[in-house]
Amino acid sequence: MNNSDINPSFLSAIPDAISVEIIVTDLTGTRIIYVNDKSCDLFNYSRADFQMIVSSELLYDGEAPHLWKTEKENTVVKFKTQDNKVIWGLMSSKRIKDKKGNDLGVFHSISNITRRKRAEDQLQQSQKKRKQLSNKLIHAQEAERKRIAVELHDGISSNITAVRLMLERKISEVGLNENTFENIINTLKTISSDTRRISRDLHPSILEDIGLVPALTSLIREFNEMLPDVVFIHQINIDENKINDKAKLTLYRILQEAINNIIKHSGADAITISSDLIDGYQQLEISDNGCSFDVDKVMNSDNEISGLGIESMKERTDDCHGTFQIESSPARGTRICVKVPTQ
């Protein structure tokens, strides 16, 4: 069988049996030569209407008219119908040639992806709202931590210190042997010290008092005192005038969380911390020589607690419009790199 044996009406019915929209334009991409029924249904134009308009009238504002004259594969294009409804299409275009290779026009196939696009947009909006809520929770958490820290420092800690001083003074006045009350005094000192430590962990007032560099250095020193068998190597270079208070708190919290995670999970005996100004970003890098882990598996675990610390660090970084990277491999341990923009 050859083409001459096929009923012409059968051949003409084929384009309208195809499940995608078909539009054929001239070589300039301006005049519409042919459309199938699905294109008429999609754009709400009759075949006669299509003869009266130019192809650019089918494009939503902002889309380039040259789309109709260039060859392309699976390009997402924003269209509009005759009644100005927005539709999204996945368009592929190819030049039509005759037997001698001469260009005759441009064949466009369009798949309607409006539902998919709207679902994607809704998902993006949902993710955006989730991120906004997460950021609000972080800010609310920090505000509450600060309030409790102030109460501990200015209230409970101050009262404990006052009781200890009164007890020591009373012992001196009465002439009692101080050793008799040594355990009580030492317990009060311990409670006072623990209260100050908890207050400092809840809210690092040292950031506001003397700055980020001393705060990070102090944090590293405290961990080093708790873990004398772990080698801490650090080099902190920060221009505090170039980063805002939110970024300072973010870097402090990330270092705090990262070292806590290393202590709990890695078994490392060496931790390296460095911070420097690189290409307009303040970078903080924390690495260890401990056991590695599968980052994707931890982040995607069904266990709600698993990966929570990493997710918190990432969300804090996102809130500062920075970048967060974490890598882990058996040969190299784990490396966290955080960058926050400078002012």
DSSP for 276-318, written as a single string: EEETTEEEEEEEE-S----HHHHHT-S-SSTTHHHHHHHHHHH
What tokens does 205 get? 């007032």
Amino acid at 91: M
The answer to whether residues 135 and 224 belong to one domain is no
The answer to whether residues 108 and 235 belong to one domain is no
Task: Please tell me the pTM assigned to this model.
Answer: 0.54
Domain end, chosen from 145, 170, 203, is at 203
Domain end, chosen from 112, 135, 155, is at 112
The CATH number given to whatever domain includes residue 274 is 3.30.565.10
The answer to whether residues 86 and 140 belong to one domain is no
The answer to whether residues 23 and 92 belong to one domain is yes
3-state secondary structure of 269: coil
The answer to whether residues 139 and 236 belong to one domain is no
The answer to whether residues 133 and 84 belong to one domain is no
Pairing of strands 323-329, 103-112: unpaired
Instruction: Walk across the sheet containing 270-278 and list its strands.
Output: 231-236, 270-278, 281-288, 333-341, 323-329
Total number of domains in the chain:
3
Cα separation, 142 vs 198, in Å, equals: 14
Q: For position 98, what pLDDT does the model report?
A: 87
The answer to whether residues 224 and 326 belong to one domain is yes
Note down the domain range covering 233. 207-343
Cα separation, 286 vs 308, in Å, equals: 18
The CATH number given to whatever domain includes residue 106 is 3.30.450.20
| Residues of the chain below pLDDT 50 | 1-2, 6, 10-11, 304-305
The answer to whether residues 28 and 88 belong to one domain is yes
What tokens does 56 get? 């650019």
The answer to whether residues 100 and 178 belong to one domain is no
The answer to whether residues 256 and 272 belong to one domain is yes
pLDDT digit string, tens, across residues 156-165: 766 777 777 7
Domain end, chosen from 60, 89, 112, is at 112
CB 309 within 8 A of CB 260: yes
The answer to whether residues 88 and 212 belong to one domain is no
The answer to whether residues 108 and 122 belong to one domain is no
